[in-house]
Amino acid sequence: MGLKTLLTTHVGAADSHTLNHYRSVGGYESQKKALTEMTAEQIVNDVKNSGLRGRGGAGFPTGNKWGFIPKTDKPKYLICNGDEGEPGTFKDRLLIEKFPHMLIEGMVIAAKAIDSHQGYIYIRGEFHKGIRIVEEAVEEAYKAGLLGKNILGLGYDFDLAVYSGAGAYICGEESALINSLEGRRGHPRLKPPFPAVSGLYACPTVVNNVETFCNVPHIIRMTGDEYKKIGTEKSPGTRLFAVSGHVKKPGIYEVEMGTPMKELIYDICGGIKNDGTLKAVIPGGSSSPILTAEEAMTATMDYESIASLKSMLGSGAVIILSESADLVETTYRLAEFYSHESCGQCTPCREGTHWVKDLLHKIKIGEGTEKDVELIFSLSRNMEGGTTICPLADACVMAVRPTMTKFKGEFSARLKKEVSISH
């Protein structure tokens, strides 16, 4: 376990984003193999055998997702979700800027797997540099015959377009992203139907994120069976973690799944800043419930371990908080984010996130009461568990309630009268 480079092997090369460099290190060989030696079914089975799980948040098995695409005469669409908006998350941005051709190659292979001939890379609007780099990479690929009609003379057609979002967090949800691509408001859709059946333009659609697609060329090159030997049995492969907060060496680290969180924090990231004491860890972006220091020291960086602690590996954002962290302030800021980013379509989310934010502000400035705390927990119960079309309201609850429960003393100390939170 520990550091293991697969996707980021050549991250130090200044020209890693160019076609010449990518080809010089074996790039597009997997695409050639997939187009000449493998059927669509074989590609899907290889990805299934690899155990690759989506690297965007939910961790759904990628090969299974591709296998849901029905056999139909309708066009099938392939979308890369590069709308990386989860607070604390910045690892897909690295892949977009450093390895755009790895992303393109992964998408071409996935396109053959689901019989798609049109793809889109949807990138967060603030990623100006990344958008430019990906657009240049797509142009390079077209000129080299790696995209477009009759790719490499092998009889397969696949066109790819880059689409810039407008910076809405909600467009990270796949159905909201699809609405945005169609020129509509970025509002999530009711499911079913799921995108695999009725997605972009009411046609079968697969949406995967940047890191997921970047794993595909490596799986095809080494075979799914070999890929599965990396990591743990149920969480194979490597994972990019964007580590931020109170550590000596914040940054993006590619580690083997199953690596102890303690090793990530203290060995790989150099320990707590100013030699402080660890207080808590948010293990997978702001919507993943917080872990105490004690829980973090028992956790390993894989889906099952984090789930056993009632949290999520999520988007791969690991936020380290030392004893100097003000968790009341932190929790308020996260609630403010979710209130701002709610699309307003569902009442429990539109109203609930706003109320939670305002109540936390009262507590933060010392004007809150025990009744305000009770109301936050009451609102949380009404916001979660399928009361809304998408999980944004649930995300707000997960960012707030576990912190108020596990660190109740910090919140009690800010109330008008010293009370104890017992939930």
Listed in sequence order, the DSSP H helices in 150-209 are 174-181
Domain 327-414, CATH class in plain words: mainly alpha
- Looking at the chain, which residues constitute the CATH 1.20.1440.230 domain(s)? 327-414
State the average pLDDT over residues 388-394: 96
Question: What mean pLDDT is predicted for residues 98-108?
Answer: 98
Whether residue 417 has pLDDT greater than 90:
no
- pLDDT value at position 58? 82
Predicted structure pTM score: 0.95
Model confidence pLDDT, tens digit, residues 273-317 = 999 999 999 999 999 999 999 999 999 999 999 999 999 999 999
Residue closest to 58 by CA, chosen among 334, 390, 315:
315
CA distance 55 to 62: 9
Q: Where in the sequence of the chain do the CATH 3.40.50.11540 domains occur? A: 19-229
Residues contacting residue 157 through CB under 8 Å, at least 6 positions apart: 117, 148, 149, 150, 151
Banded pLDDT at 160 (limits 50, 70, 90):
very high
**Domain at 232-322: CATH code:** 3.10.20.600
pLDDT, tens only, 308-345: 999 999 999 999 999 999 999 999 999 999 999 999 99
Residues of the chain with CATH 3.10.20.600: 232-322
Rounded CA-CA distance 399/360 in Å is 12
Parallel, antiparallel, or unpaired for β 159-164 and 205-209?
A: unpaired
Q: 379: Cβ–Cβ under 8 A, 6 or more apart, which residues?
A: 352, 355, 356, 359
421 confidence band (pLDDT: 50, 70, 90): low
Query: What is the pLDDT of the chain when averaged over all its residues?
Result: 96
pLDDT at 2: 86
19-229: CATH topology: Rossmann fold (3.40.50)
Q: What is the pLDDT of residues 188-224, one digit of tens each?
A: 999 999 999 999 999 999 999 999 999 999 999 999 9
Cα gap 146→119, rounded to integer Å: 14
The mean per-residue pLDDT over the stretch 82-101 comes to 96
Closest of 294, 322, 390 to residue 330, by C-alpha? 322
Strand partners of residue 243: 251, 318
Q: pLDDT tens-digit profile of 355-382?
A: 999 999 999 999 999 999 999 999 999 9
pLDDT of 420 above 60: no
pLDDT of residue 1: 79
Q: Tell me how far apart the alpha carbons of residues 69 and 71 are, in angstroms, rounded to a whole number.
A: 7
Residues 319, 245: Cα–Cα separation, whole Å = 5
pLDDT of the residue at 57: 82
Per-residue pLDDT reduced to its tens digit, 128-141: 999 999 999 999 99
**Band (167; pLDDT cuts 50, 70, 90):** confident
The pairing of beta strand 205-209 with beta strand 251-256: unpaired
